Structure 1
Amino acid sequence: MSDRHKILLIDGMSFLFRAFYASAWTGGYRQTSQGVYTNAVYGFTKMMLDYIDLTRPSHVAVGWDVAARETLVRSQWYDGYKSNRAAPPEELIPQFDLVKEVTDAFSVPNLGCPGYEGDDVLGTLSTMLAEEGHQVVIATGDYDSLQLISGQVSVKVLKNGGKHEHYTPESLLATKGIKPEQVVDIKALMGDASDCIPGCPGIGEKTAHKLISEHQNLDNLYSRLDACTPKLREKLEQNRDQVYLSQKLATIIRDVPISYDHDEARWEYEDGRVREKLEELEFGRTLLSRI
């Protein structure tokens, strides 16, 4: 038997928030008879099982954010990082712990590290596992993870309606005209309002794509500023430090000090333990039938 495995890495926060808002917009705050909110956990569990059915992995693990914004490594580099994030809805807050009880019942490791984000956990794991010769599939709602793609690592980006986009190095080049290592440099130029990454004022997505396509990377671009129009050159020169800071903020960290046990991530679980947890949450026959 080959010792090379297929590992599904799930972006926990991405799944949980998507599951919450998919039901919340209809007013569907699912609750148990005791009044415990479970709509996000129910949706998360269904999505996790859907992606396991889709990818047929031998191993599964979930990466989580485990720190407040103020304590993130990136907040130390840049005080404004994610400063626009509102507090999560009160119906969702109790479900952060509850969802980990469900994944734990499935014997799926919940992995996180103070100061780092789920992306960093997945970046560290995917890089380590790929180096060991395993095949890795990352399931996330975040296009930032496209920088992690390689011959051993593919990314499924969640879309509305239960759909997703599947990316490999070849499909990324075919659909977006870029390589995985160029994802960060494009974001460094255009910035990202959702994460408060400043980028270069006056440069949008189209110009950022064009510049990186022409020059391959940020360092080449800055060594060839004479090739740019005077107006563009001025913008890039004036905001050089901010652009390189944005590059640093956008780069997924791949050496997070996390503890990962490959055997514990094997996709095996005790039916009775899972059934007991799902019945406790009153998840009903549809989900129970999948156990």
Structure 2
Amino acid sequence: MSDSGKVLLIDGMSFLFRAFYGSAWGGAYRQTSTGVYTNAVYGFTKMMLDYAELTRPSHLVVGWDVASRESLVRSQWYDGYKSNRQAAPDELIPQFDLVKEVTDAFSVPNLGCPGFEGDDVLGTLSTRLSEEGHEVIIATGDYDSLQLISERVSVKILKNGGKHEHYNPASLLALRGITPEQVVDVKALMGDASDCIPGCPGIGEKTATKLITEHGDLDNLYVNLANCTPKMRSKLEENRDQVYLSRKLATIIRDVPVEYALEDALWEYDRQVVQNKFDELEFGRTMAARVG
């Protein structure tokens, strides 16, 4: 593959959960005639095809979480990490395996690594691939992925209504006022309630962004605490260990031991194999028309 290759990396959990809840609001879950739930798989497939049409990749990979919360490396660092997560709805659970049958039909690799999260898999792949000279596009619902942006890596953040926000180094600076390297330091200060990352109590996104842009990074902020107001200095000093733990928790791991062969990720598929899977899942004419 030449330098002009373009790899689309999809955050499997982001797509699947968004597809499930986006189609479940009315309480009517799509099912086959035999009662198999397919609403999340149908929505996932539609989104995957949408982003493939939008970005025209040469290669496509899906990254997944494959571990329970308790077995995550971050849970070893901090007991409370993601402790607020609820069990997946009963209607969604069987679709975790089913969606991988669909991606297999498209010859799309499903990659995961025990102990690590999908973000870490995508972070590892995007780092390796960009260093090899490939253009990488990450499609996800997770703003943490903005730390992965570089000249060769861009991120599309999923939004409601099938829309997305596109981020590269320039648009990240224009829209959020920070660089990719500063994303984690902002999160270290503000925390993240959705993942139970504590941050520094009393500091929100606006203040965190202001502190990091003024000082450059977290380490320099702590070197220059004397320049902060007494109230802010006290807050930061008191929670120093928690802030640095939060930075560690929020940092995407980029050296996950995940094995892959890029040639296996070519965005090429046997239309008949895909059509057979669509027929099995009773996806209907609209979806069938999208694969010819």
Residue 264 (structure 1) aligns with: 264
- 2:55 corresponds to 1:55: yes
Alignment of 1:41-120 (within 5 A): 41-120=41-120
- 2:204 corresponds to 1:196: no
Residue 129 (structure 1) aligns with: 129
Matches of 1:3 and 1:21, distance apart in 2: 38
Matches of 1:210 and 1:166, distance apart in 2: 23
Instruction: Give 1:260 deviation, angstroms.
Output: 1.1
Runs ≥4 residues deviating over 3 A: 1-4
Instruction: Give 1:131 deviation, angstroms.
Output: 0.2
Output the amino acid matched with 2:256.
V
Matches of 1:162 and 1:196, distance apart in 2: 28
Instruction: Give 1:81 deviation, angstroms.
Output: 0.1
Matches of 1:26 and 1:258, distance apart in 2: 39
Matches of 1:147 and 1:3, distance apart in 2: 23
Residue 222 (structure 1) aligns with: 222
Matches of 1:3 and 1:126, distance apart in 2: 14
Provide the secondary structure at the position in 2 that maps to 1:155: strand
Given that 1:28 and 1:39 are in contact with CA atoms closer than 8 Å, whether structure 2 keeps it comes out as no
Provide the secondary structure at the position in 2 that maps to 1:124: helix
Instruction: Give 1:28 deviation, angstroms.
Output: 2.8
Output the amino acid matched with 2:88.
P
Residue 161 (structure 1) aligns with: 161
TM-score, normalised via structure 1 length: 0.99
Provide the secondary structure at the position in 1 that maps to 2:165: strand
Q: Deviations over 1:145-188 (max 9, x none)?
A: 00000000000000000000000000000111100010000000
Provide the secondary structure at the position in 2 that maps to 1:289: helix
Instruction: Give 1:2 deviation, angstroms.
Output: 3.5
Output the amino acid matched with 1:251.
T
Q: Deviations over 1:232-269 (max 9, x none)?
A: 10010010000000000000000000011100000011
Matches of 1:203 and 1:46, distance apart in 2: 39
Structure 1 unaligned residues grouped into runs of 5+: none
Instruction: Give 1:144 deviation, angstroms.
Output: 0.4
Output the amino acid matched with 1:261.
A
Matches of 1:196 and 1:254, distance apart in 2: 22
Instruction: Give 1:4 deviation, angstroms.
Output: 3.6
Given that 1:5 and 1:134 are in contact with CA atoms closer than 8 Å, whether structure 2 keeps it comes out as yes
Provide the secondary structure at the position in 2 that maps to 1:8: strand
Alignment of 1:166-245 (within 5 A): 166-245=166-245
Instruction: Give 1:3 deviation, angstroms.
Output: 4.8
Matches of 1:49 and 1:202, distance apart in 2: 42
Alignment of 1:24-39 (within 5 A): 24-39=24-39
Instruction: Give 1:27 deviation, angstroms.
Output: 1.7
Q: How many residues align?
A: 291
Matches of 1:98 and 1:87, distance apart in 2: 18
| Identity score, percent | 79
Output the amino acid matched with 1:10.
I
Instruction: Give 1:272 deviation, angstroms.
Output: 1.0
Instruction: Give 1:15 deviation, angstroms.
Output: 0.2
Matches of 1:259 and 1:202, distance apart in 2: 42
Output the amino acid matched with 1:215.
H
Matches of 1:9 and 1:20, distance apart in 2: 20
Matches of 1:122 and 1:98, distance apart in 2: 21
- Residues 20-29 or 70-79, more deviating: 20-29
- 2:275 corresponds to 1:275: yes
Output the amino acid matched with 2:28.
G
Provide the secondary structure at the position in 1 that maps to 2:18: helix
Q: Deviations over 1:116-164 (max 9, x none)?
A: 0000000000000000000000000010000000000000000000000
Matches of 1:46 and 1:191, distance apart in 2: 33
Residue 21 (structure 1) aligns with: 21
Alignment of 1:146-157 (within 5 A): 146-157=146-157
Matches of 1:55 and 1:138, distance apart in 2: 10
Output the amino acid matched with 1:284.
G
Provide the secondary structure at the position in 2 that maps to 1:157: strand
